[in-house]
């Protein structure tokens, strides 16, 4: 049994259908990538998994049918969604943003230890721990958004454009950290990433979406060797 299974999933905003017949699965401790052009439905696929958009078909997590379940309930089952555009709470300090991420954890010592782990993963945040999130640089806000997701101790983390707006070296650091999170904490991942070369460093397999449908799907090596993938996503 896979940790996450999408079977023939469709999604729509109001009357407008956006995803059609999307099926893929993610195993325990596995990282899956979603590639595709702007508007292809990548973010919508993540929103379907975290319950933020109306879906058809079936989505199962850890053997349980989560189709149509409320987002807060899905989050409690162990799925953390780090959305596009960061979504940190600007009026709260870095520390309080991290505490909000630990919404299921009542034990203060555990929360403090988890904050320490996040500051170890993202050392840039340590010096800014008492600052309002709105005063962080774009890259630091991105790190905070990911760290807040980690604070929930998810079994599956959904990452939407984690490298967007980051300097190349920062983006590489963020992906190195994401790789570390997977090997140290065993977190499974679904990664949406414009920078396919970065994504391919972490993912085991990927799907390519074209106007809401899967056009290609397979293990990393297979996709990286395909002409159409190289041309469209790897710059030749
Ligand atoms: N809240 C919304 N209401 C109506 N239509 C939406 C909404 N969000 C997205 N869409 C539409 O759904 C389609 C898929 O959007 P989605 O955000 O999933 O694309 P994406 O692959 O993540 O693109 P990008 O690479 O630009 O982030 C697009 O046509 C988009 O205009
Ligand atoms: Mg998107």
Q: Percentage of residues in the chain with pLDDT exceeding 90? A: 75
Closest residue by CA, ligand 1 atom 28: 39
* Mean pLDDT, rounded, for 22-43: 96
pTM for the whole structure: 0.95
pLDDT digits (tens, 9 = 90+) for 116-140: 999 999 999 999 999 999 999 888 8
* pLDDT for the residue 91: 86
Closest by CA position to 162, among listed 7, 18, 75, 33: 33
**Residue ranges per domain, the chain?**
1-78+156-168+190-236
Ligand 1 centre and the CA of 39: distance in Å?
A: 5
* pLDDT for the residue 131: 95
Cα first-last separation, the chain: 37
> How far apart (Å, rounded) are the C-alpha atoms in residues 227 and 12?
31
* pLDDT for the residue 170: 86
> How far apart (Å, rounded) are the C-alpha atoms in residues 81 and 215?
24
User: Which two tokens mark 222?
Assistant: 């297979």
* pLDDT for the residue 78: 95
pLDDT surpasses 90 at 104: no
Ligand 2 centre and the CA of 42: distance in Å?
A: 5
Q: Is the CB of 42 under 6 A from ligand 1?
A: yes
The ligand whose atoms approach the alpha carbon of 84 most closely is: 2
Q: Is the CB of 36 under 6 A from ligand 1?
A: yes
Indicate the pLDDT class of residue 235, thresholds 50, 70 and 90.
confident
pLDDT surpasses 80 at 183: yes
> How far apart (Å, rounded) are the C-alpha atoms in residues 52 and 45?
10
CATH number of 1-78+156-168+190-236: 3.40.50.300
pLDDT digits (tens, 9 = 90+) for 40-78: 999 999 999 999 999 999 999 999 999 999 999 999 999
> Is residue 225 classed as helix, strand or coil in its secondary structure?
coil
Ligand 2 centre and the CA of 76: distance in Å?
A: 24
């Amino acid at each position: 049994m896979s940790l996450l299974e999408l079977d023939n999933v469709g999604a729509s905003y109001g009357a407008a259908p956006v995803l059609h017949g999307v099926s893929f699965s993610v195993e325990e401790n596995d990282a899956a990538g979603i590639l595709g052009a702007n508007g292809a439905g990548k973010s919508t696929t993540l929103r379907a998994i975290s319950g933020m958009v109306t879906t058809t078909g079936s989505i199962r997590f850890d053997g349980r049918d989560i189709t149509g379940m409320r987002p807060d309930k899905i989050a409690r089952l162990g799925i953390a969604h780090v959305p596009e555009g960061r979504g940190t709470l600007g009026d709260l300090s870095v520390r309080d943003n991290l505490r909000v991420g630990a919404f299921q954890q009542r034990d203060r010592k555990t929360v403090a230890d988890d904050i320490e782990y996040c500051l170890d993963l993202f050392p840039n945040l340590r010096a800014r721990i008492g600052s309002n999130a709105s005063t962080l640089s774009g890259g630091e806000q991105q790190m905070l958004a990911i760290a807040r997701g980690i604070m929930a101790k998810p079994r599956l983390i959904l990452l939407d454009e984690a490298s967007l707006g980051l300097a190349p070296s920062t983006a590489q650091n963020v992906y190195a950290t994401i790789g570390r999170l997977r090997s140290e904490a065993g977190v499974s991942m679904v990664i949406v990433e414009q920078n396919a070369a970065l994504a391919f460093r972490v993912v085991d397999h990927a799907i390519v979406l074209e106007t809401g449908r899967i056009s290609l799907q397979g293990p990393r090596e297979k996709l990286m060797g395909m002409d159409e993938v190289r041309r469209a996503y790897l710059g030749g």
